[in-house]
Chain A
Amino acid sequence: MSLLTLENVTLSFGGLKAVNNVSFHVGKGETFAIVGPNGAGKSTVFNLISRIYNPDCGDIKFANKSILGLRPDQIPFLGIARTFQNIELFEQSTVLQNLLVGRQRHRKSNLITEMFFAPSVRDEERRHRQVVEEVIEFLELQAYRDKFIAGLPYGVRKIVELARALATEPQVLLLDEPASGLSLEETNDMIFWIEDIKKQMGITVLMVEHDMNLVSSVSDRVLALADGKELAIGTPEQVQNHPAVIEAYIGTGKRIVS
């Protein structure tokens, strides 16, 4: 069953077609990767799904319903969580506080009960904390729980962002370059985690990634983009060996196979 579908989506920035007539669907439980050279439009696809941008034409559907009528802040309520390529954490807060913001979509209390910190608010806080602690345990962030983001190294920030997305208890997780800037060891951890997220938690993963090792080890299907257009779609192997893909990478002087 298809959970997330893009149908002939196009978006231009001025004269530049950042996304040009792109269609694909991500099935429930599937791990789907988008690859492509710099400026291919990968992050823009994510921003379209997050409703940061409105497509010029085409439709985006979640569970067979168009999401184009929704505001960006309504997207997480569908169960879609994401990370950002440039890391967008709450710098002046601790790791714990960052993850707790991830619980925002499960908030049941209101202004009045929170002003007086009613017992119901306290109970809810405990439940949020429970979920957050499970995520902290899963991603081994215990040592950083009470640390401020502003002082954390890059690799840890990357993991905190993943953790914050998981704290929303999503159905679909959008990961924008989860391994970029990570060491080999950290990348290997990331591979394990993504596999666990898929297999144990049953979360559908859509990711953008340059690291072909990561892509081919975790993803079921891959979409290759260049200049906003689809080059190829299929299994990691099919896409890596597709002539158009090879040409696009040679054209940019970058190799897709590492």
Chain B
Amino acid sequence: MRFVFKRSYDDDIKLFKHRPQFIYYLLLLILLIALPWLIDDFFLGEATNVLIWAIAGMGLMVLTGFTGQVSLGHAAFMALGCYLNVILMQNGVPFIISLPLAAILTGFAGAIIALPVLRLHGIYLAIATLAISILTEDIIVIAKNWTGGVMGLVAEPIEIFGLDIDRYGTPVLFYFVVLFIVLFVLMVVRNLTRAPLGRAFTAIRDSEVSAQALGVNVTKTKATSFAISCAIVGLAGGLLGHYAGAFNHETFNLVFSIQLLLMIVIGGLGSIHGAFFGAIIVGFLPQLIAITRGSISSIFNLGSLPLPGIESAAFAFILIVFILFEPRGIYGLWIKIRTYFELFPFYRKNMFKRQKTYLKTERMK
């Protein structure tokens, strides 16, 4: 067990609680930078995919994990970021401008949509954002002059300072582009969480009445959260376009939105770690299923039995397990395991139980 002795207010403002923590993250960063030399191009591609999911996860985490607003429509904003980026590039805008610009425009679109939608709460909000997701597919098909309709678009290779960057041609460079954006988004989200805006987000999540009574403009802050969330997800969308190479209306469908949401729930709502844990699960799940499917069908001699929807089913199963046994997601599990080892052998089973839950009357609502 580590006791952290705080000596100045800055100890709570700093990014890392203590020196070892700083060293862990530094080692992790070195590992990520060294990754292209440790694994082959196929797995590097998978790692890139996980990082793109992690960006999207951080985006949705801002809205759902920190501000407490559910969205089943975030694939729509990923699509917007993706299409905007490629369309801008087709019109001669270089990638280093087109991607941030696409993200900013997605953020604005998010803010405009947020104002009416975020007046809704809970399940109604989920339904409204769901509608956005469903509409997007149709809009992409209808607006075929820009989006290529069902034929979709093809992302051009990226060019940065004369370097050609392509997912297949130069996977290492593409990986570093994605890693750079992951670190940038991580910095922004982490900074917000230790600043007044981030506290306003969590205040809204935990009690809107109180937040308001302390001077938080709930409507404006929710819209800000939605905008930041959409901008980040737009970045992820832009990168995914380059990762996938080609995409159409089906790339960012409803299932995609749901998967995004489930990812952060499984990872652990309300923590940045959760976005990364969730991304690892989502990123590697298809491979895992492919492997288990192979072994299962060889055991039972099923040949190559097609199992449609197995991925969604596996995902749903994992989700249910987590909601039942570990609502705080993988991050919650991780904290428990760590505490177990730190306190060994003094860990008590009910350590993370709430001491007291009591009823609140609904009168103030």
Contacts and interface: CB of A to CB of B under 8 A. Distances in A.
B26 interface: no
Nearest to B355: A151
A116 B354 CA distance: 35
B12 A129 contact: yes
A82 to B, nearest CB: 6
Contacts of A116: 187-188, 191
Interface stretch (A29-37, A100-108, A237-245, A250-258): A100-108
A115 B213 contact: no
A101 B13 contact: no
B309 interface: no
A86 B360 contact: yes
A97 B199 contact: yes
A41 B213 CA distance: 19
A111 B207 contact: no
Nearest to B270: A92
Interface stretch (B31-39, B136-144, B151-159, B215-223): B215-223
A103 B196 contact: yes
Given A114-B192, A117-B194, A86 B9 contact: no
A91 interface: yes
A219 interface: no
A71 B197 CA distance: 19
B202 A92 contact: yes
A90 B203 contact: yes
Given A86-B361, A130-B9, A102 B214 contact: yes
Interface in B173-213: 187-188, 191-192, 194-200, 202-203, 205-207, 209-213
A71 B218 CA distance: 11
A84 interface: yes
Contact of A76 (B10, B214, B270): B214
A128 B9 CA distance: 10
Interface residues of A, number: 53
Contact of B356 (A72, A133, A154, A164): A154
A90 B212 CA distance: 12
A218 B228 CA distance: 48
A76 B213 CA distance: 6
B335 interface: no
A93 interface: yes
Contacts of A100: 196, 199
A199 interface: no
B364 interface: yes
B358 interface: yes
B355 A168 contact: no
B13 A122 contact: yes
A5 interface: no
Contact of B364 (A86, A121, A154): A86
Given A72-B213, A76-B214, A104-B200, A86 B12 contact: no
B348 interface: no
Interface in B131-168: none
B144 to A, nearest CB: 36
A151 B194 contact: no
A217 to B, nearest CB: 27
Contact of A115 (B191, B205, B207, B210): B191
Interface in B242-271: 270
B57 to A, nearest CB: 19
A71 B216 CA distance: 11
Residue among A115, A116, A130 with the highest chain B CB neighbour number at 10 A: A115
A114 B191 CA distance: 7
A151 B216 contact: no
Residue among B196, B206, B217 with the highest chain A CB neighbour number at 10 A: B196
A96 B12 contact: yes
Nearest to A152: B355
A89 interface: yes
Contacts of A185: none
Interface of A: 43, 47, 50, 52, 71-77, 81-82, 84-93, 96-97, 100-105, 107, 109, 111, 114-117, 121-122, 125-126, 128-130, 133, 150-154, 164, 168
Given A85-B364, A92-B270, A101-B200, 15 more contacts: A73-B218, A82-B213, A84-B364, A88-B213, A89-B206, A90-B205, A101-B203, A101-B210, A104-B196, A104-B200, A114-B198, A121-B195, A122-B13, A125-B194, A151-B355
6 contacts: A73-B215, A76-B214, A90-B211, A104-B199, A109-B196, A117-B195
